[in-house]
Structure 1
Amino acid sequence: MVVNVSALLALIAGILILIQPRLLNYVVAIYLIVVGLIGLFPRLVSF
């Protein structure tokens, strides 16, 4: 089974923001950092 990591991260981020809206800044920052790292180092994520 192939999982699109960015789609999974977006889903988790959306759920967290719905549960706790004050987490928006942290969730967006973490999401951007993770997506950036995946873009720079695609070999780290090999599903």
Structure 2
Amino acid sequence: MINLVAIQPLVALIAGVLILIMPRLLNYIVAIYLIIVGITGLLR
């Protein structure tokens, strides 16, 4: 299984760049991030 803790900084970096390029993506990126974090939190 992939270590999700190591992936979080990479996801944050990609999300930050996308938000800088297209600020409208902020809502979707935050929503997807929260869903992923919630699911991984429940599976632990």
By the TM > 0.5 criterion, same fold?
Answer: yes
What percentage of residue pairs aligned between the two structures are identical?
66
In 2, Cα distance between equivalents of 1:37 and 1:16: 23
- What's the TM-score, normalizing by structure 2? 0.71
Runs of 4 or more above 3 Å deviation: none
If asked which structure has higher relative contact order (CA below 8 Å, sep 6+), I would say 1
Does the CA contact (< 8 Å) of 1:6 and 1:35 recur in 2?
Answer: no
Query: Structure 2 counterpart of 1:15, which letter?
Result: V
* 1:1-47 map, 5 Å: 4-42=6-44
In 2, Cα distance between equivalents of 1:38 and 1:7: 15
How many pairs are equivalent? 41
**Comparing both structures, which one devotes a greater share of its residues to helix?**
2
Taking only aligned residues, the RMSD between alpha carbons, in angstroms, comes to 1.7
- What's the TM-score, normalizing by structure 1? 0.68
Structure 1 residue runs of 5 or longer lacking an equivalent are: 43-47
